[in-house]
Amino acid sequence: MTPLLLMKQELLITAILFILLFFKIGSKEWKNESLLNLINALLLINLVAGFFFVTEGKLFGEMFRTSELITFEKNILSLGTLIISKK
């Protein structure tokens, strides 16, 4: 099992944060409304990607564990974040 597949949601959130950071720093003409649409799209991608390739495993000497239930809980949190950002 590859660590990238086990830490899929964590890596996607990190990528979203870096993308938003680069957009915010690199471009002055982005308004908050258009940036919010980009954020919602990225959060939706994160939510949909969370339902695919659900695997069970352990990393870092069993300090990081993932299972179907943990992934489902992460998907619920992603959905809540998406709902809050749409308001």
**pLDDT tens figures, 11-42:** 889 999 998 888 888 877 777 777 888 889 99
Domain definitions of the chain by residue range = 3-86
Each residue of 49-63: pLDDT tens digit?
888 888 888 888 889
Q: pTM of this prediction?
A: 0.78
Question: Is the pLDDT assigned to residue 76 strictly greater than 90?
Answer: yes
DSSP state of 47: H
pLDDT of residue 73: 92
Residue with tokens 């919010």: 36
Beta bridge partners of 66: 57
Please say whether the beta carbons of 40 and 86 come within 8 A.
yes
